[in-house]
Amino acid sequence: MSQNKTIMEVNQELVKERAKCNFNVLEVTHILDGGEKNTLHRKKIESIALDEGAYKDPIPEEYLSPKEKYENAVRKSCLFCKIVKNALTEFTGLEHFSNFFVLRRTADAFFKEISPFLLHLGMFLPTILGQCTTEQQAYWLPRVLDIQIIGTYAQTELGHGTFIRGLETTATYDPETEEFVLHSPTLTSYKWWAGGLGKTVNYCIVVAQLYTKGVCHGTHLFIVQIRDEETHMPLPGIKVGEIGAKMGFNTADNGYLAFDHYRIPRQNMMMKNAQVLKDGTYVKPDSHGKLTYGTMVLVRVILVNEVAFNLAKACTIATRYSAVRRQSQPKPNEPEPQILDYTTQQHKLFICIATAHALQLASAWLWKTFNAVMSDMKKGNTDSLPELHALSSCLKALSTSDVTSLIEQCRYSCGGHGYMLCSGLPNIYSFVTATRTYEGDYTILLLQTARFLVKAYEQAEAGTPVTPTVLYLIEFVSGKRTPWDGSPEGIIKSFQEIAAGNISSCVKSIRNRMSSGLSFEDAWELTTIQLVGAAEAHCRAVISDTYKKEIARITASSSTNVKIVMEQLVNLYLHYWALNRTGDLLRYSSISGEDVANLQMKYEELLTLIRPNAVGLVDAFDLRDEILHSALGSYDGQVYKRLFAEALKSPLNQEPVNETFHKYLKPTMQGKL
């Protein structure tokens, strides 16, 4: 295990747990990294970035003022970029995004919250790659990759985030000067939220309504310089600043931006998918109408990986802590048990481990699907884009929502100490809960998937072919049902029946409402609670199926005990969600009350089987202490020593008597105030 060099002696509770583990931890690490080669690559980058201790803060971040926190985050962002640039030159053979995932993970050692550069690598760069012509890329990419300029992605406005077509910022083409004039006509049209916009970036991608020859052509993307490259002063016609304190992301200087008839050259429109010619003629290629939304699809795919990683962090912390913590006395005259021995604690934690695996594998699978669709699109074929949009939308929505709840569950499982910032859990939570909203709110994205599912259902009814992830609809509309048998395959089948049953009920509701005189839009609107449920059920079936198949494929040549523990986790995931959805199972499958009782028994057996391997399983995530930032979750398990050391860092503990005693407490106690 690659761990912090400054660890204390390992707590005996964890020594015993590690001795109990019956599988090869490193083998599971390789599975999670996608192969031994990737593990070595990741460890090498982590070692280059972290071994010298450059991530260390002179004063803990939480005790700095907001301004100091930001300044420290910028300092460390620059340092991180410098180290990483050197590291990457050693690894030029590897594709850009495998590096991106490793770098995101490593960056967490530098930032308890978020780097102000996140959007530069996370959205500015990918949008240039996805939306610029080859000539534009030749101009912009070297400057972006070399961090000669720093950028962000400014789409959301004060008045509109979800409804992109409703954005108000305008970009009006002036053929006289061959420029676009950017303008913010109202307060609600101010760009709002973009990460790094407040103080850090000097360029940004702006999404605006394109007008040329008096006609509005909808939203398009523009690269806009907003600050002078030498002085960093906002350029004339630009109003820019930071939006203020937030629940998290407080080192990300999310910003606002407004334009007063601000001019940019024609060439700054990102012209891969549509163009404005010198004379103002608008040229739109004959392809899919939503290609300008491409970066959002990419980032949704990335976010599934991102939250899987954050859940791995949270359950590493909570599981190690639960092995160290002892509480209560269920049997008289016996020592207090480790809280990890309580079945309810296992119920809280093991689903987190299984979900981190399920989402990690689903994200790798989605990443492959994304690349396949992109390579089809390069050949001019956009047929599989709707399915990718439906998949990335629901996987982003469900993964961020599940992980938000499970991280909170990890915090509950750490009792009071989990509430301390130094447990690491509050920062992980405040980061992940934002992912449920940004890059497309949960409800909105599930409704996008529901649109796709309703259409697929109609295709299945009409006997026309459907895409791979909804093949189960064909069996459903033909009336074929699989009797409940309680096997893992049977549970997945029943999840598909639940999804199909829910979609069918939605279609019926919409049709009934329309036949009673409502418009399609109104009938759809009244059915949206069911539609969200249907999309969620579909996504659960997709994750379950992918998880089971991918584990079987990847562990085909693994050692026996690794196969066993990996299968136990898959089964745990399936049983957990089956028990969570017994209402749906009773409605749409042939399950009986007795079968439900058997499911419960099997679930409880799985908890007992997984228990001895719990610490080994979280060790397999191979998270360095520097990345975890947790007094509760460090590899050595010295929870109490670390909590006390953290308490001593509090500014209030730097003097025996605080001045408020003399100013207020004493006069109050002496009745003199």
Ligand X SMILES: Cc1cc2nc3c(=O)[nH]c(=O)nc-3n(C[C@H](O)[C@H](O)[C@H](O)COP(=O)(O)OP(=O)(O)OC[C@H]3O[C@@H](n4cnc5c(N)ncnc54)[C@H](O)[C@@H]3O)c2cc1C
Is residue 641 a contact point for ligand CO8 (CB under 6 A)? no
**Strands 238-242 and 179-183, sheet pairing:** unpaired
Residue 293 site contact among ligand X, ligand CO8, none (CB < 5 to 8 Å, cut-off depends on kind)? ligand CO8
Q: Are 624 and 48 in contact (CB under 8 A)?
A: no
**CA atoms of 592 and 599, how far apart (whole Å):** 11
Q: Which two tokens stand for residue 48?
A: 């280059």
Q: Taking CB positions, which residue lies at the least distance from ligand X?
A: 161
Which residue of the set 113, 387, 439, 626 is catalytic?
439
Query: Closest Cα to residue 574, out of 520, 632, 496?
Result: 496
Q: Are 384 and 392 in contact (CB under 8 A)?
A: no
Task: Report the first-to-last Cα separation within the chain, whole angstroms.
Answer: 59
One-letter amino acid at 611 equals R
Q: Taking CB positions, which residue lies at the least distance from ligand CO8?
A: 122
**Is 46 one of the catalytic residues?**
no
Is residue 450 a contact point for ligand X (CB under 6 A)? no
Q: Identify residues 415-434 at the interface with ligand X (CB under 6 A).
A: 434
* Three-state SS sequence of 265-278: EHHHECCCCCEECC
Q: Tell me the site size for ligand CO8, rule CB under 6 A.
A: 26
- Other residues' Cβ atoms within 10 Å of the Cβ of residue 182: 24
Is 152 or 427 the residue whose CB approaches ligand X more closely? 152
Query: Which stretch, 55-63, 167-175, 187-195, 613-621, contacts ligand X (CB under 6 A)?
Result: 187-195
Those residues with Cβ within 8 angstroms of residue 382's Cβ, 6 or more apart along the chain or in another chain: 287, 288, 291, 376
- Other residues' Cβ atoms within 10 Å of the Cβ of residue 230: 7
Residue 443 site contact among ligand CO8, ligand X, none (CB < 5 to 8 Å, cut-off depends on kind)? ligand X
Is residue 163 a contact point for ligand CO8 (CB under 6 A)? yes
CA torsion sign for 206, 209, 214, 217 is positive
Is residue 153 a contact point for ligand CO8 (CB under 6 A)? yes
Those residues with Cβ within 8 angstroms of residue 244's Cβ, 6 or more apart along the chain or in another chain: none
63, 91, 438, 640: which one binds ligand X (CB under 6 A)? 438
Query: Closest Cα to residue 223, out of 117, 125, 97?
Result: 125
- 156 appears as a binding residue in the annotation: yes
Is 76 or 389 the residue whose CB approaches ligand CO8 more closely? 389
Taking residues 257 to 296 in sequence order and writing x for each that binds ligand CO8 by CB under 6 A, - otherwise, the string is ---------------------------------x--x--x
Is residue 193 a contact point for ligand X (CB under 6 A)? yes
Query: Which stretch, 148-156, 369-377, 457-465, 565-573, contacts ligand CO8 (CB under 6 A)?
Result: 148-156
Is residue 156 a contact point for ligand CO8 (CB under 6 A)? yes
Residue 249 site contact among ligand X, ligand CO8, none (CB < 5 to 8 Å, cut-off depends on kind)? ligand X
CB of 192 to ligand X, least distance (A): 7
Is residue 438 a contact point for ligand CO8 (CB under 6 A)? yes
Residue 296 site contact among ligand X, ligand CO8, none (CB < 5 to 8 Å, cut-off depends on kind)? ligand CO8
CA atoms within 13 Å, Cβ hemisphere of 667: 7
Q: Compute CA distances 646 → 112, 642, 649, 651, whole Å.
A: 15, 6, 5, 11
184, 254, 558, 613: which one binds ligand X (CB under 6 A)? 254
Write out the catalytic residue numbers: 439
Binding-site sequence positions: 156, 195
Instruction: Name the site residues for ligand X (rule: CB under 6 A).
Output: 119, 152-156, 160-162, 193-195, 249, 254, 434, 437-441, 443-444
Binding-site sequence positions for FAD: 156, 195
